[in-house]
Amino acid sequence: MEQIKIRTEAIVTILRRTDPESRTALQFRNPLQILVATILSAQCTDAKVNEITPDLFAAYPTAGAFAAADPADLEERIHPTGFFRQKTRSIIGAAQKIVRDFGGEVPDSMADLITLPGVARKTANIVLSSGYGKAEGIAVDTHVKRLAVRLGLSSETNPDKIEQDLLRIVPRDAWLDLNYLLVNHGRQICQARNPRCTECPLQALCPSADPRP
């Protein structure tokens, strides 16, 4: 366990050095906006979400506005992100609970966030880290899941189990930005189909690296 902790700390150090401005690509101004944007980002690119959210947030500036939204109007606005009916139900349901149980403010704890419709640990972790600067866990999305396995940080396939593995070995002060570091690295270097191992600053630390020039 101690060896993998040391290797993990070295990975974090390198990624922070190579990508010091790492943060979510989703554009937002407050916790409500990052919550909605994260819900919309499921099975959709961040770029596409960012295309529609300026008009969306102008039309629905508060949790109360989303709670009272006409589902047909919201579906039309978020249609380009895919799965728009389910996302509409999640957004309206979450907003209604926020208004009813949390005074119209997005809660700032994991325990409360995961009670919202459409919000599991991944979304809650992103809201906490990006919206509140709090780390209660590590968001495990597609990129983090892939890189955690490739880097030998977890052998699990379930995101919740991967998160628990990461929490045991990642320094606490890295919980806040690890998701963004791994996501950016996964997009730029450690891509799903064609990882650019020979260009990777983590090559010497990665058990899955291809050593060929």
Spatial distance between the Cα atoms of 143 and 190, rounded to a whole number of angstroms: 9
Catalytic residue from among 19, 46, 48, 141: 141
Residue 28: how many CB atoms within 10 A of its CB?
20
Helix (H, G, I), strand (E, B) or coil at 49: helix
The single residue listed with the structure tokens 């994991």 is 110
Residues 6+ apart with CB under 8 A from 67: 92, 95, 96, 98, 99
Q: Is 161 a catalytic residue?
A: no
Catalytic residue from among 122, 134, 165, 177: 122
The single residue listed with the structure tokens 């979400």 is 49
- The tokens describing 123, both together, are 């979304």
DSSP single-letter state for residue 208: T
Q: Is 173 a catalytic residue?
A: no
- The residues carrying an active-site annotation are 122, 141
